[in-house]
Amino acid sequence: MVSACRLLVCCVKSGSTREFNRRLLYMTYRQIISGMALFLVGASTPCLSGPQQNSEKTIFQATPERFRFMPGTVLNVDGKDHLITVVAEFGKLVGDWSPNKLVLVASHDGGKNWETDKISVFQEPVRGPNITSPSFLRLSDQEVLFFFNSNGMWYKRSTDNTKTWGNPVRLPYFGDPVYGGSDMAAEHPVLLKSGRIVLPYYYLQGDQCANGKYSGYVSPLYSDDNGRTWKRANSITVRARDWWLGGLGDRSSNPNMCFVAEEPAVVELKDGRLFMLIRTYAGWYYKSYSKDQGATWSEPANSGIPAPGAIPTLRRIPSTGDLLLIYNHGEPEEINGAWPRHTLAAMISRDEGKTFSSMRVLVGGKDFPGKITMPAVTFLGNDAVIFYGKSPSKLNSYDWVRQIVPIPWFYEGDETKVYGEGNLDAKVQDVKK
């Protein structure tokens, strides 16, 4: 039979010629998908634009009064089906540093349903009106750390598996507060097999490189005593494209920055090294390695994975041992600074981060009129429970959405296109510092 996905896309596209606006078009598409879920389950040709059994569910719906829900984090409380997600809830002002709070909601059936009638405030801002970058990190069956940014990074500790929490403690602060200081992407702390905690820190610093521009640097923190004291690794960064100086003419740079390393993701490799993917505005993720558990890091190199300036989420799949990358996909010719963010995709690495393949689109696509970004993920049995912010337009009005994706689905993508080592586009080479 003809793919049901193709049929639905044809229907929606034909509707667009009848003067549907883009937001209504998106809403119509989502309603059609939901209404025909049973039909799609029986289709012999799987949908290429998302899991065959579309399990997308909106947990927090944006409204004019609560205009944005993002970023967020997730924790498995009991090792079974009890999940909690904590999300930044914004009011009518939706800039990254606008007034907001962190709210919590729970699920007791593995993320299928959420107690949205029992939403609670989990953390108010500590300094200033803003709080963001929520991140859980489990240390043991009873001890959990929770990290957040409120004019600098903080953490608080639970020793009774999230029933009660201690007072927030401020982490080391560096960087220039005028440009945002130091931060860590939501859902990105790492606990190594040795017990060391690694925080993929980055900071923003004003530079005299050109006309008052600023730069981003990666400098992880690490702790060997469950977060009570911290040490700082070396700083690394990536040179921005010089198009704003009349150089390469490359659209993939951020015109406000000289060096562009931000919001890295870290995973421990089987040989004990640490592997880092770094968000940049250079048109690609850059990579770095640590041979000493995060104390020092190698000079960043092009990873061979084209990407806009958007956060990568990198995890090891427990049931297969392979690496899973969830990210905003873009081809080199369409990447322009932080854009596009119309596609949230996944790829698998079977060789410890050297190459990634089996690229599959989780949600969105080139025709999606809005933005999808900042994914978080946890694993339950043979499923990945994935969360992300989704806006039906270019406005910052984000819903907080979850999908439940069977692990085998990630392995059914295109194996002929391989990203990573050996995939450096001849038109976009590394720029010498």
Q: What is the DSSP letter of 333?
A: G
Mean pLDDT by 10 residues, the chain (433 residues): 34 32 33 35 39 77 94 97 98 84 98 96 96 98 98 97 98 86 95 99 82 86 98 94 44 70 98 98 94 99 95 98 97 86 97 98 95 97 97 91 97 94 55 34
pLDDT of 129: 94
pLDDT, position 212? 64
d(CA 299, CA 115): 46
Question: CA 162 to CA 142: how far, in whole Å?
Answer: 8
User: Nearest 10 degrees: CA dihedral of 384, 387, 392, 397?
Assistant: 180
Domain spans of the chain?
Answer: 1-47, 48-420
**Gyration radius of the chain over CA positions:** 21
Cα 138 from Cα 109, distance rounded (Å): 20
Helix (H, G, I), strand (E, B) or coil at 6: helix
Q: Which neighbouring-strand residues pair with 334?
A: none
Q: What is the C-alpha separation between 324 and 317, in angstroms, rounded?
A: 6
pLDDT at 402: 97
Go through 55-89 and write b for each residue having 16 or more CB atoms within 10 A of its CB, e for each that does not. Answer: bbeebbebeeebbbbbbbbbbbbeeeebbbbbbbb
Whose structure tokens read 């997600």?
A: 85
Of 2.40.50.140, 3.40.718.10, 2.120.10.10, 3.40.50.2000, which CATH number belongs to 48-420? 2.120.10.10
Q: What is the pLDDT of residue 297?
A: 99
Q: Which two tokens stand for residue 23?
A: 């937001």
Q: What is the rounded distance in angstroms from the CA atom of residue 374 to the CA atom of residue 337?
A: 16
The number of helix segments (H) and strand segments (E) in the chain equals 3, 29
Kindly state the tokens that stand for 348.
């698998």
Residues 334, 100: Cα–Cα separation, whole Å: 33
CB contact at 8 A, 25 and 16: yes
What is the model's pLDDT at position 242? 56
Would you state the pLDDT for residue 5? 38
Place of tokens 């959990």: 144
User: Is-contact 326 345, C-beta < 8 A?
Assistant: yes
Buried b (16+ CB within 10 A) or exposed e, 109-120: ebbeebeeeebe
